[in-house]
Amino acid sequence: MAVKILSKQEKLGILRQPTWGTPIADNGAFRLCQWINVGTLNPNPDVQVDQFNVTSQNGIHSESERFFVDYTSGLPTIPFSGTCEKATMAMFLVGAFQGVGEASSTPYLKTIVCGGLTSPIDFAAGSGFLHTLALVQGDGDDGVILSDAIIQNLNITWDLNSRGVARLVNMSGAWVGRLLEYEQTVNGDWANATIAQTGFFNNTDTWYFDTLTVGGVDYKAECVRRVELQINNNVTSNCKTTGGKANQYDTAPEYKMMIDLDYNATTEKLLMDFPTGATVSLMNWSNDHVPVRTDGMWTIEKGGTGYLMSPPKKYNGEFVGITLDIGFKSTAAATPLTVYYTDTVDYGY
């Protein structure tokens, strides 16, 4: 009887892909993502199972002769959730934002901005930032490769009132690509294989806003219970080859931040800010307020304009609460958000 494979034995590796249509080989030196939650790496090949509904059939049953499977024209995905970790987080951020400049020397500060500010991103011509993902599910030739991959959606959560692992900065989302290949012999020497709990966020570092103003009132002194950054690129296939394979991506990015506050005599003013279209001025959700831009430092800075996108009132258990549902828009072709991220890793971005 064959030996079963534990889900906790699976491994996910990611590496920047040089150009469209040239994925990293299965023996590539992928960077290991160690802190992905067990049971989340379940690839979706986006297969269309179909049936010809044509004449010359027999009886009332669907017939095997008319059965059809389309494995080519979809956009396959690999979902994930896990703990944000310093040495691998940059790939997720760049895959989501699609714009980055990286310093040429240590500590390799990455200035990550939103791509496509003045025109669509031409992925097929080398614009944007593509990655190849490798999933090892056991031993031998049962690996999975996702090529030409970018982030479909990415949620990053700072749950400041949680305990244990949930208190750390966590993430979830999905990578999307052009081709998902099974039965791959993934056998390269991967980087970042040493297990060390030294790269987590909201552990020994402290996060807060420098500015959090809505409708001219500053709320940065209020108790921030939870912050969630949401990026949704809404990736679709643009131009397909004659065989049905995607030959370009269309993206329609959305950037949001959800901020949970207590409801009190100060924050109740926020209820009227939504229907009146008040603007949000947010600066530096960060663990680096000097800033010094050293290893492990991370800042999310607003570059465009923020607006409340839904009514703020909510409930925190038995208490009345506030959630600022902030959508960030580009202003004068400026990036809606900028992320400064330092990890001492040279990705060649």
pLDDT tens string, the chain, 349 residues long: the values are 678 889 999 999 999 999 999 999 999 999 999 999 999 999 999 999 999 999 999 999 999 999 999 999 999 999 999 999 999 999 999 999 999 999 999 999 999 999 999 999 999 999 999 999 999 988 778 899 999 999 999 999 999 999 999 999 999 999 999 999 999 999 888 887 766 677 899 999 999 999 999 999 999 999 999 999 999 999 999 888 878 889 999 999 999 999 999 999 999 999 999 999 999 999 999 999 999 999 999 999 988 899 999 999 999 999 999 999 999 999 999 999 999 999 999 999 9
CA distances for 299 relative to 165, 227, 290, 329, angstroms: 22, 13, 11, 18
Number of structural domains found in the chain:
1
Nearby residues of 232 by Cβ (< 8 Å), 6 or more positions away: 152, 153, 253, 254
Q: What pTM value is reported for the model?
A: 0.95
Token pair for 172: 């979830």
Residue 153, beta-bridge partner list: 174, 232
State which H helix or E strand residue 155 sits in. strand 143-159
Q: Do the bridges between strand 298-302 and strand 254-262 make them parallel or antiparallel, or are there none, so unpaired?
A: unpaired
In a domain, 52, yes or no: no
End-to-end CA distance of the chain: 47
What pLDDT is stored for residue 138 in this prediction?
A: 80
In a domain, 51, yes or no: no
Q: Which domain holds residue 193?
A: 7-45+69-341
Q: Are 296 and 205 in contact (CB under 8 A)?
A: yes
State which H helix or E strand residue 94 sits in. helix 89-97
In a domain, 335, yes or no: yes
Token pair for 22: 């040239």
What pLDDT is stored for residue 195 in this prediction?
A: 66
Region for 297 from its dihedrals, namely left if φ exceeds 0, alpha if ψ lies in -120 to 50, beta otherwise: beta
In a domain, 149, yes or no: yes
Strands (E) in 242-331, as ranges, are: 249-250, 254-262, 279-286, 298-302, 305-308, 313-316, 319-329
Report the distance separating Cα 221 and Cα 209, nearest Å.
Answer: 9
In a domain, 62, yes or no: no
Amino acid letter at 26? D
Report which of 1, 173, 8 is spatially closest to residue 92, judged by C-alpha positions. 173
In a domain, 347, yes or no: no
